[in-house]
């Protein structure tokens, strides 16, 4: 569809959506729509654009920071893409009960990467907190981390962290469906701190930092560092599990927001990305699509590589998991590197605790 025609078709819808979001936020600001306060400190991690900001790795980092500080955590997530409804316990901090189909790929990955954390999935975060309070009355966590909750204003929070993708234009951005904004930019005034993530270009990130100055909130600069390249199915607990990436020729496939960041991480790790196959964010994989990827990688003599989140989405399907394992498929783990302003974030995370 030509860009000008798309703008004509989506422009009015974007104006209507933006107006609706402004009205909704005003009703919360005026106290007409009421927020519910949890009996425990709450940190929210969210974004103002749709997908691809690096929010999930930051949630993982925050939970690990709290645990390293001797604090116990609970993660409450919506569980986007799951086949279940309502508030469900994903992990009790000792055992994982639900996989990606019932919990969502990101939630299942967070539960696996943080086995000591309680993990709950709930569209309505208040119901998730109430489930937490009932089930763990004898061992309540020190803090609740809400995953993807910036627009979920029904529940109050002590700290609102907003993650912004440095690779996307911010000032010129438009609201859905004309653009990728979940709400008008004035909503950023609710944030307590900004994390400018996925930085690869210093000049572009500098312009976004400048655009954020009027909000008067701290800005943390962050980039994504490639972690281990691991065979699918491996536990990844041993250094022997990982595969050297330097010089590898790969076919990269993913169903995530902003997959260009995945390709960049592979290049940073030393791999040569020869071919790519991208799908919609959270899109379920079919046997046909997986077989096609593997056939192309075999024909071209390339190693099939996906993201850790994609592997968590696929692995619950034994047939697809076996197909990828037998083909030698790997996934790339990633880690956020908060290289400027990390101490400010750490202070704010600890300051909300009793």
Angle ∠(18,205,332) on CA atoms, nearest 5: 95
Contact 223, 263 (CB under 8 A): no
- pLDDT computed for residue 179 by the predictor: 84
Same fold, 42-217 and 226-335: yes
Q: What is the rounded CA–CA span in Å between residue 27 and residue 116?
A: 38
- pLDDT computed for residue 234 by the predictor: 72
- pLDDT computed for residue 238 by the predictor: 46
226-335 CATH fold: Rossmann fold (3.40.50)
Q: What is the rounded CA–CA span in Å between residue 298 and residue 235?
A: 25
Whether the link from the prior residue into 111 is cis, omega within 30° of 0, is no
- pLDDT computed for residue 123 by the predictor: 94
Contact 254, 330 (CB under 8 A): no
CATH of 42-217, picked from 1.10.1740, 1.10.760, 3.40.50, 3.10.20, is: 3.40.50
Q: Where are the domains of the chain?
A: 42-217, 226-335
pLDDT tens-digit map of 181-233 = 899 999 999 999 999 999 987 667 888 999 999 999 999 999 999 999 999 98
Residue ranges of the chain with pLDDT lower than 50?
Answer: 1, 3, 5-6, 237-239
Return the structure tokens found at 67: 């645990």
- pLDDT computed for residue 177 by the predictor: 85
Contact 220, 196 (CB under 8 A): yes
- pLDDT computed for residue 65 by the predictor: 98
């Amino acid at each position: 569809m030509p860009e000008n025609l798309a703008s004509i078709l989506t422009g009015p819808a974007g104006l209507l959506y933006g107006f609706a979001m402004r009205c909704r936020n005003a009703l919360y600001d005026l106290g007409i729509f009421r927020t519910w306060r949890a009996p425990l400190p709450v940190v929210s991690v969210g974004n103002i654009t749709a997908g691809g900001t690096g929010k999930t790795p930051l949630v993982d980092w925050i939970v690990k920071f709290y645990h390293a500080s001797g604090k116990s955590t609970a993660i409450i997530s919506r569980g986007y893409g799951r086949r279940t409804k309502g508030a469900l316990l994903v992990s009790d901090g000792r055992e994982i009960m639900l996989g990606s189909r019932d919990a969502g790929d990101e939630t299942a990955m967070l539960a696996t990467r943080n086995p000591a954390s309680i993990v709950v999935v709930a569209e309505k975060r208040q119901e998730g907190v109430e489930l937490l309070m009932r089930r763990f009355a004898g061992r309540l966590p020190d803090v609740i981390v809400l995953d993807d909750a910036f627009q979920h204003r029904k529940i109050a929070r002590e700290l609102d962290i907003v993650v912004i993708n440095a690779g996307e234009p911010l000032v010129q951005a438009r609201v859905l469906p004309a653009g990728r904004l979940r709400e008008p930019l004035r909503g950023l005034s609710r944030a307590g701190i900004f994390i400018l993530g996925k930085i690869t270009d210093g000049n572009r990130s500098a312009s976004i930092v400048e655009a954020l100055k009027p909000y008067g909130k701290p800005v943390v600069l962050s980039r994504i560092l490639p972690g281990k390249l691991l065979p699918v199915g491996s536990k990844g607990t041993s250094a022997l599990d990982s595969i050297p990436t330097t010089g590898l020729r790969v076919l990269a496939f993913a169903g995530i927001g902003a997959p260009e960041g995945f390709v960049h991480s592979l290049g940073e790790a030393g791999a040569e990305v020869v071919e790519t196959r991208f799908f919609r964010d959270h899109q379920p994989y079919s046997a046909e699509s997986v077989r096609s990827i593997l056939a192309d990688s075999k024909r071209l003599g390339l190693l099939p590589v996906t993201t850790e989140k994609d592997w968590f989405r696929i692995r619950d399907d034994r047939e697809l998991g076996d197909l990828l394992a037998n083909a030698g498929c790997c996934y790339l783990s990633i880690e956020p590197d908060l290289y400027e302003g990390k101490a400010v974030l750490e202070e704010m995370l600890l300051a909300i605790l009793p």
